[in-house]
Amino acid sequence: MQPYALSEHRIIRIVVLCALYVAQGVPFGFLTVTLAAAMAASGAETEAIASVFALGTLPWALKWVWGPFVDRFGNSRFGRRRPWILVAQTGMIATLAAMAMMPDPVADLRTLGILVVLHNICNSLQDVCVDAMAIDLLPPKDRGKASGLMYGAKYGGTAIGGGGLSIVAGLGGMPLAYVGMIVVIAGIALLPLLTIERPGDRRFPWSKVGVDRDQNTGDLPADESEAEVPPRSALALLRDLAGAFTVPAAIVTAVVALLATAASGLLSPIATNLFVGDLGWSQEEYGAATGGAAVFAGLAGAVLGGFLADWIGARRVFATCSLVLALMFAVFGLGDAFWENRMLVWGYLIIESALAGCLNAAFFAICFGVCRPSIAATQFTAYMALMNLGVAGIYTLSGPFEARFGVQTTYLIAAGIQFSVVLLVPFTLVFRPKTKV
């Protein structure tokens, strides 16, 4: 039986891409919800929680290194991206197995931090390869919708890692939660293992070379012919990338990438300590709110954002979501009298997550439009790396900002950061000369 080729099966292609994004979201949800709540419940300070967040995010800030490397050393026999994805998932599973063997992960933060970094190095490698595969295989007409579905799938993974594993950790302890992650990621790894990217790719080293030839001419398929072209040097890719960032719209988009989710990053460790440490939320309740209901809202927002980006324009969607988020941060910061009202806080968390999902899906579409086609995978990875760099850098400011300005003022500062993004959005538009008829 011939394996399914993702380039030829639209539904299977979307399912595999989305499933791989679920695999990225599970550890993120676990880190930012389940583990963070466990640390807060054990008495950890905001600085300790923020340091683990930063360690988990740092490899993503440096993932731009993977882009040229993966482009340069793609293996055409097994697909351009698939071998790297399988290597990355093997590393993810191995690091999770090491975490599961720790008697008390929260008590040994140094070892945990090292394993978190190693795990996210593998996870970020998978992310680069999946984004590159999407750019390789998705037709332009599907990119807006697919970006929404893929980012929505990451929210689904975050729900599993946050809400689902919070319950597992409450029932059986943290090691059992790690085992749960291993089962989910190993199951998802079967999809790229059992499929191929294009006709003619080998599924396994011992597989028969199934290159399909035209029944009439005996020629190789167009996709396979292109796959045989030797990749350019990494130096040439970096040179083209540097040239792409001489375009004003590309430079502004890079600044927007740094700031797009920085406000949420600044507030995330503070919110964890606020709800669990100060307001008395249980670990299970916090996980259900931020890793359950709010994540599903983010999933819906991401899917909706992808469709709206194709319908009314990605920049309109992105700017609107940023503006409303800025207003919500400001209102929440000033409305401390309502923090004890569980219903209002749940509503705030759900709406915030939905807007964040919509915002991210729209920004994906903006980046697709700004990227040069010749280096789209590498340039897109650079933008995603800048987003993570912005979050990783600002995580380290959460503790100092809370200590210096207090929780309420920090929320107002976050509102200002988010509003600044709105002012930059019009300058991300690429002006291309009209073709004369």
| Mean pLDDT score, 249-272 | 90
Residue 338 domain-assigned (yes or no): yes
More confident call, 183 vs 243: 183
The per-residue pLDDT of the chain, averaged, comes to 80
Residue 158 domain-assigned (yes or no): yes
Q: Which of 42-51, 230-239, 368-377, 405-414 has the lowest mean pLDDT?
A: 230-239
How much is the pLDDT for 422?
93
How much is the pLDDT for 374?
62
- pLDDT per position as a tens digit, 358-376: 998 889 888 877 877 667 6
Q: Return contacts of 8-16, CB within 8 angstroms, 24+ apart.
A: 8/198, 8/199, 10/142, 12/195, 13/137, 13/138, 14/142, 14/146, 14/149, 15/191, 16/191, 16/192, 16/195
How much is the pLDDT for 351?
94
DSSP 8-state assignment for residue 290: I
- The CATH code of the domain that includes 316 is 1.20.1250.20
d(CA 429, CA 431): 6
The CA-based dihedral angle spanning residues 56, 301, 19, 100, taken in that order and rounded to the nearest 10 degrees: 30
Contact 161, 26 (CB under 8 A): yes
How much is the pLDDT for 409?
94
- pLDDT per position as a tens digit, 396-412: 788 889 889 999 999 99
Amino acid at 80: R
- pLDDT per position as a tens digit, 144-164: 777 788 878 887 888 888 878
| Mean pLDDT score, 98-102 | 83
Burial 98-132 (b: 16+ CB within 10 A, else e): bbbebeebbeebeebeebbbbbbbbbbbbbbbbbb
In the chain, what percentage of residues exceed pLDDT 90? 22
How much is the pLDDT for 215?
36
How much is the pLDDT for 105?
61
Residue 437 domain-assigned (yes or no): no
Q: Which of 189-198, 222-231, 413-422 has the lowest mean pLDDT?
A: 222-231
How much is the pLDDT for 229?
42
Q: For residue 433, is pLDDT > 50? A: no
Q: For residue 172, is pLDDT > 60? A: yes
Q: Which of 189-193, 207-211, 321-325 has the lowest mean pLDDT?
A: 207-211
How much is the pLDDT for 435?
38
CA–CA distance from 175 to each of 42, 166, 167, 233 (Å)?
16, 12, 13, 44
Both tokens of residue 112? 């945990």
- pLDDT per position as a tens digit, 307-360: 888 788 889 999 999 999 999 999 999 988 888 888 888 999 999 989 998 998
How much is the pLDDT for 219?
34
DSSP symbols for 152-168: HHHHHHHHIIIIIHHHH
How much is the pLDDT for 160?
87
Which helix (H) or strand (E) segment is 129 a member of? Answer: helix 109-137
Kindly indicate the confidence band of residue 209, based on its pLDDT and cuts at 50, 70 and 90: low
Amino acid at 227: A
d(CA 143, CA 406): 42
Which helix (H) or strand (E) segment is 318 a member of? Answer: helix 314-334
- pLDDT per position as a tens digit, 3-30: 788 878 888 888 999 999 999 889 888 8
How much is the pLDDT for 74?
64
| Mean pLDDT score, 173-179 | 81
The H helix count followed by the E strand count for the chain is 18, 0
Contacts of 269 (CB under 8 A, 6+ apart): 36, 46, 49, 50, 53, 395, 398, 399
More confident call, 216 vs 78: 78
Number of domains in the chain: 1
If you search the block for the tokens 């731009």, which residue do you land on?
64
Q: For residue 393, is pLDDT > 80? A: no
Angle at which helices 262-272 and 314-334 pack, to 10 degrees? Answer: 30
Domain extent at residue 410 = 6-204+233-426
Of 172-186, 201-215, 249-263, where does the model show the most confidence? 249-263
Residue 431 domain-assigned (yes or no): no
| Mean pLDDT score, 413-417 | 95
More confident call, 93 vs 55: 93
d(CA 188, CA 161): 14
Residue 225 domain-assigned (yes or no): no
- pLDDT per position as a tens digit, 120-132: 999 989 988 888 8
Q: For residue 204, is pLDDT > 70? A: yes
| Mean pLDDT score, 181-194 | 91
DSSP 8-state assignment for residue 254: H
In the chain, what percentage of residues exceed pLDDT 70? 86
| Mean pLDDT score, 401-429 | 92
Residue 98 domain-assigned (yes or no): yes
How much is the pLDDT for 92?
92
